[in-house]
Amino acid sequence: MRIAPARPSRKPENTVALINVVFLMLIFFLAAGTLAPAPDRDVDFITLAATDPAAPPDMLFVRADGTLTWRGEPMAVEEHVARWQGLQDEAAPPRPLRIAADRTLPALDLLDSLDALRKAGVDEIVLIAERRPE
């Protein structure tokens, strides 16, 4: 009578290593990702019929009274331009300054703010608006 040799039993696969890798990837993406700061709550966006749905995280807000704010803090034009120019990467093309104005801000006041920014050294300004629901 022939007896078959005993097969070595297979060990169950260890999933702990896989769980560790997935957990480390989760931690990495949480740490590496950036969260956009909340927009200024005192600004009611201008509404246009057709715009790109963009909400840049680092933009200057113009309140209804003409006050310039950045991340909720009031800021003088020269101070903001100096901070914005310090953030520019010399190797990359210059980024435009993004502005969101309150819809109740008179157009002449907005133009005055834009003119002050241009005189302070800003070459390119992008005005952010919100898409009107159709």
Q: What pLDDT digit, counting tens, does each position of 105-130 carry? A: 888 888 888 888 888 888 888 887 77
The answer on pLDDT for 94 being more than 60 is yes
Find the range with the poorest average confidence among 9-23, 57-71, 81-95.
81-95
- Nearest 5 degrees, angle CA 73-CA 74-CA 80? 95
Total-model pTM: 0.52
Domain assignment present for residue 37? The answer is no
Tokens of 29: 């993406």
Residue at 63 is within a domain: yes
Written as one letter, the residue type at 83 is: R
Containing structural domain, residue 111: 47-131
Contacts of 123 (CB under 8 A, 6+ apart): 94
Q: What is the CATH number of the domain that holds 74?
A: 3.30.420
Straight-line distance from the first to the last Cα atom of the chain, in angstroms, rounded to the nearest whole number: 86
Q: What's the pLDDT tens digit per position in 10-40?
A: 777 788 888 999 999 988 887 777 666 667 7
User: Mean per-residue pLDDT for 90-107?
Assistant: 79
- Strands 68-70 and 60-62, by their bridges, are antiparallel
- Which stretch of DSSP H or E encloses residue 101? strand 97-101
User: Does some domain include residue 79?
Assistant: yes
Residue 102 lies in a domain: yes
> Domain total for the chain?
1
- Residue 84 included in any domain: yes
The answer to whether residue 80 sits within a structural domain is yes
